[in-house]
Structure 1
Amino acid sequence: MRIAAVDLFCGAGGLTHGLEQEGIPVIAGIDFDPACRYAYETNNKARFLERDISTVTADELNRLFGDVELKILAGCAPCQPFSTYAQRYEQDGNDGKWGLLYEFARLAEGVSPDVITMENVPTVAKHGVFTDFVDALERLGYNVWFGVIDSARFDVPQTRRRMVLLASKHGPIELVQPEKFKPKTVRQAIGRLRALAAGETATNDRLHASSALSEKNLRRIRASRPGGTWRDWPRHLVADCHKAATGRTYSGVYGRMEWDKPAPTMTTQCYGFGSGRFGHPEQDRAISLREAAILQSFPREYAFVPKDGEVQFKVLGRLIGNAVPVNLGRAIARSIHSHLASIVG
């Protein structure tokens, strides 16, 4: 039977790439961010549609699927509204990006795909929009499974806890867990990349570029040890905001990664030394954009910008940090294959 997927909120293509690598064709990816187009279309067979998901109709998706016999509707609604930081500013949970899961449910009802998958931050489950999403799928006749997983269990070299949801019209479905678990480390992932200085770009890979550091931040990273915190620094290097009582608990910034452990969660600011534990384990710089992409389990050759395109840290950091890790996408695809094999026979 012919199977294919459409990827909503596709971003740079992490989920699509994982699905394709495991033999699930993806017809199209939909995202309203034009910066995603080059990476998405260059590395994947699917076409990119630059659209606001609220304007997409079920009829359009059905035309994309065509005569496909088994339809998969996949997506990772932007997670910022559900992050711990964003919750400080939330209102009633029904405006702006909070409503994107309702759009996902609307399209699921109109398309009636065989399988649905969604990935988001764990805290999404605390909000009514997620409960409404699950309830809507169950009313439509789906068997729904969801759970919080650590992506490190699925060959992603970082500690990245995520909510994964799978739903099927053909019986119970769940994420297939690996039989053996040995986390991939930072050393295994990026240990062989050429050394860089802060602010340097590799001649053979424009994405292997690290952001520049001020003289004070250079002194700070030189005073940092892998796995340590800014508390290890001489007092004159400690930022004023961390000296205050309200800042003493923020130990997860200005830190170096450890070679023999998974990386911390990649964020949209993963190229910045002061934005998290994103310091290189031994070189005096933050990790490069390429290293961040590899820690998201993108292949080394995954292209994010044209050869003559501008490498913009803020834009590419957003694309990389927001992506579904490719290897998590592969695990989702294997789970779908396993489920469909049991129903097709």
Structure 2
Amino acid sequence: MGPITIPEFECPVTTVRATIGDLPRLSAGGNDPSDALHRASRLSDVNLRRIRHSKPGGTWRDWPVDLRASCHMKVTGGTYPSVYGRMEWDGPSPTITTQCFGYGNGRFGHPEQDRAISLREASMLQGFPKEYSFLPDERTASFDKLGRLIGNAVPVKLGEVIGELFSAHVAKFRKDSTQH
């Protein structure tokens, strides 16, 4: 069997704005009554002050010193600049993790609204369609359980590309094995 040729894939960069920019506004702790997944976790008073000082693409280093977490004041704390970050509207999404609904867990601050991204926004940034349902309609979305499902999922586009590569490999293997 000869070498496998990897087909070319076009993967245009999709921005945060193009993915979630048309969703209804939410406040920290708020929810969209028409979408159980479009709900944002609450923020403590100090985290609400922190996010108001956060710039899209910036870090906690942009905050006044009195808002910085004590762990960031240590020498070792400076190695985590992405926690408490805001996404940038016109940039790609950061990697979506199981704790993506928490502002302090990465660069999961909404680019404009003073809150962390919602579960719906996280799922869409992971590549799931806006209408995708992870649970029966009558259930309340659990941040921990759904965050784990969304964050542990293979991004949809990556899954498609891997599937196409496997299909190309199987097709080539079948073709080569019938010629011998």
State the Cα deviation string for residues 216-275 of structure 1 (Å, max 9, x = none). 111100000000000100111111110111212211100000111111111110000000
Distance in 1, matches of 2:120 and 2:72, equals 30
The CA deviation at 1:281 is 0.4
- Equivalence for 1:198: 28
Change (3 A) 1:264 1:174: farther
State the Cα deviation string for residues 23-54 of structure 1 (Å, max 9, x = none). xxxxxxxxxxxxxxxxxxxxxxxxxxxxxxxx
> Where do 5+ consecutive residues of structure 1 fail to align?
1-169
State the Cα deviation string for residues 31-81 of structure 1 (Å, max 9, x = none). xxxxxxxxxxxxxxxxxxxxxxxxxxxxxxxxxxxxxxxxxxxxxxxxxxx
**What does 1:66-215 align with in structure 2 at a 5 Å threshold?**
172-173=3-4, 176-178=7-9, 180-215=10-45
Instruction: Report if aligned partners of 2:4, 2:172 keep a CA contact under 8 Å in 1.
Output: no
Q: Name the Cα RMSD after superposition.
A: 1.7
- Equivalence for 2:118: 288
Distance in 2, matches of 1:175 and 1:282, equals 40
Distance in 2, matches of 1:324 and 1:171, equals 30
> Where do 5+ consecutive residues of structure 2 fail to align?
176-180
SS in 2 for 1:284: coil
Change (3 A) 1:174 1:274: farther
| 1:240 aligns with one of 70, 74, 88 | 70
| 2:47 aligns with one of 199, 217, 240 | 217
- Equivalence for 1:151: none
> How many residues matched?
175
- Structure 1 length as normaliser, TM-score? 0.48
Change (3 A) 1:207 1:174: farther
Residue 155 of structure 2 corresponds to residue 330 of structure 1: no
- Equivalence for 1:340: 170
| 1:307 aligns with one of 127, 133, 137 | 137
Distance in 2, matches of 1:181 and 1:311, equals 31
**What does 1:265-280 align with in structure 2 at a 5 Å threshold?**
265-280=95-110
Distance in 1, matches of 2:2 and 2:36, equals 47
- Equivalence for 1:106: none
| 2:86 aligns with one of 256, 270, 283 | 256
Please tell me the residue identity of whatever aligns with 1:183. Answer: V
- Structure 2 length as normaliser, TM-score? 0.91
Distance in 2, matches of 1:195 and 1:221, equals 16
List structure 1 segments (4+ residues) > 4 angstroms apart after TM superposition. Answer: 170-175
The CA deviation at 1:173 is 4.3
The CA deviation at 1:306 is 1.2
Change (3 A) 1:174 1:303: farther
Please tell me the residue identity of whatever aligns with 1:258. Answer: E
Instruction: Report if aligned partners of 1:273, 1:286 keep a CA contact under 8 Å in 2.
Output: yes
Please tell me the residue identity of whatever aligns with 1:335. Answer: L
The CA deviation at 1:181 is 4.3
The CA deviation at 1:342 is 3.0
Residue 141 of structure 2 corresponds to residue 320 of structure 1: no
Considering fraction of residues, name the structure with more strand: 1
**Greater relative contact order (CA < 8 Å, ≥ 6 in sequence):** 2
- Equivalence for 2:178: none
Residue 57 of structure 2 corresponds to residue 227 of structure 1: yes
The CA deviation at 1:175 is 5.3
The CA deviation at 1:336 is 2.3
Distance in 2, matches of 1:177 and 1:236, equals 51
Distance in 1, matches of 2:140 and 2:23, equals 22
Percent identical across equivalent pairs?
58
**What does 1:7-26 align with in structure 2 at a 5 Å threshold?**
none
